[in-house]
Amino acid sequence: MKEAKPGKLNVHQQHENGHFSPFKFAKLLDPEASWDKDQLGDILHWIRQVVALFCGLLWGAIPVAGGIWIFIFLAISTGIIYGYYAMILKIDEEEFGGHAALLQEGLFASITVFLLAWILVYSLAHF
Amino acid sequence: MATQQFLSSFKYSDSLTVVAISFCTAIVCEAISWLLIYRTNSYKSLKSSIDRAAKKLETMKTDQNPNKLSTKKSKTKKIDRVETSLKESSRDLSLFKFKSGAVVALVLIVVFGFLNSLFEGKVVAKLPFKPIGIVMKMSHRGLKGEDATDCSMVFLYFLCSISIRTNLQKFLGFSPPRGAAGAGLFPMPDPKTN
């Protein structure tokens, strides 16, 4: 049986212009921490962007070529996001709108970041 | 001078120019948006009412007692009222940003025209994959030859715009509130500031 962790809304954590309120880095790895929907969405967004940038730079540096590597990136990126919220944070996804809502956070922006990094490194380093 | 020489030694150094101009444009557009939209009281109050309504709606939807029929009916009515209020606030926010977004749209059109005049017909980058369909049309726009991996300014500028502006808006806290209508699988940078 899945261990559900209540994703209670934390009313004491205020958003000012969309920025996080100060929180310890340890919270990012703490399965007991409670998450605000916006905070969790932001974290997942930025993780996607970092993974996209890393993959783009790596794919471009090696280099790898072919459309298949776009799908490989999507699989890796999605796997990391899913692993993070399901296994590390142990989030009950129903409290946050389901898997689709969590997995689509920052998806499109991350695809463009990945393509941009990949194309730039590939073009500049290998021609 | 040494930097210029170093950069021009790359075959596709034009791609860096496109990225740099896109980055500067994104900063200018967000500055204009802040000036005309984000610092105004109307925007702040609309945003906070959307946030409040979205959170209230979420709480009401997860807090339903299925046992009492009369409570359930009145709860459904309340949910409908909050949803209507949320839709109205979202619409008002969109309209408000639309009026001010015309200035940003003008800046983007001017920058695109400028980049087009600089790089029309030039290959600015090499794609590490063969694009298909509409991506191919965009990436090969205005280029001669049949090499599908040649990349025109249009596609690179498109990638720069989406990636830089979306993340800049996110970083600065200017992204549209999650409760507002329009956020879907592919949330673009706030279209009313385009």
What is the model's pLDDT at position A50?
97
What is the model's pLDDT at position A97?
84
Chain-chain contact of B163 with A127 (C-beta, under 8 angstroms): no
Q: Are B111 and B164 in contact (CB under 8 A)?
A: no
What is the model's pLDDT at position A22?
56
**Which residue, among B159, B174, B188, would best test binding to A if mutated, counting the most A CBs under 10 Å from its CB?**
B159
Nearest to A122 among B128, B162, B167 (CB): B128
| ipTM of this complex | 0.78
What is the model's pLDDT at position B10?
83
Q: Are A89 and A68 in contact (CB under 8 A)?
A: no
Q: Where are the alpha helices (DSSP H) in A1-127?
A: 37-61, 68-83, 98-103, 107-126
- Nearest chain A residue to B52, by CA: A11
Q: Are A73 and A52 in contact (CB under 8 A)?
A: yes
Q: Are A119 and B159 in contact (CB under 8 A)?
A: yes
- Count the Cβ atoms, other than its own, within 10 Å of residue B43: 19
What is the model's pLDDT at position A17?
44
Measuring CA to CA, which residue among B41, B111, B51 is closest to residue B82? B51
A→B contacts (Cβ < 8 Å), by residue, are: 9, 15-19, 37-38, 41-42, 45-46, 49, 59-60, 63-67, 69-70, 95, 104, 106-109, 112-113, 115-116, 118-120, 122-124, 126-127
Chain-chain contact of A65 with B129 (C-beta, under 8 angstroms): yes
What is the model's pLDDT at position B11?
87
Residues of chain B with pLDDT under 70: 7, 62-71, 177-194
B128 CB within 8 Å of a chain A CB = yes
Cα separation, B159 vs B164, whole angstroms: 8
B134 CB within 8 Å of a chain A CB = no
B129 CB within 8 Å of a chain A CB = yes
Chain-chain contact of B127 with A38 (C-beta, under 8 angstroms): no
pTM: 0.79
Which residues are CB-neighbours of A90 under 8 A, at least 6 positions away? A3, A5, A31
Nearest to A112 among B62, B129, B163 (CB): B163
The pLDDT tens digits of the residues spanning B152-180 come to 999 999 999 999 999 999 998 887 766 65
Which residues are CB-neighbours of B114 under 8 A, at least 6 positions away? B21
What does the pLDDT profile of chain A (127 residues) look like in tens digits? Answer: 444 444 444 444 444 444 545 556 777 887 777 777 888 999 999 999 999 999 999 999 999 999 999 999 999 999 999 999 999 988 888 888 889 999 999 999 999 999 999 999 999 999 9
Which residues are CB-neighbours of B174 under 8 A, at least 6 positions away? A17, A18, B30, B33, B34, B38, B190, B193
Chain A nearest-CA distance from B10, in A, is: 6
Domain-by-domain residue ranges, chain B?
13-61+72-172
What is the model's pLDDT at position B68?
54
Q: Are A103 and A81 in contact (CB under 8 A)?
A: yes
What's the token pair of residue A7? 């994703």
What is the model's pLDDT at position A96?
85
Chain B nearest-CA distance from A86, in A, is: 20
Cα separation, B112 vs B92, whole angstroms: 29
Cα separation, A25 vs A8, whole angstroms: 20
Measuring CA to CA, which residue among A50, A80, A70, A76 is closest to residue A118? A70
What's the token pair of residue B161? 């715009």
What is the model's pLDDT at position B7?
67
- Nearest chain A residue to B179, by CA: A38
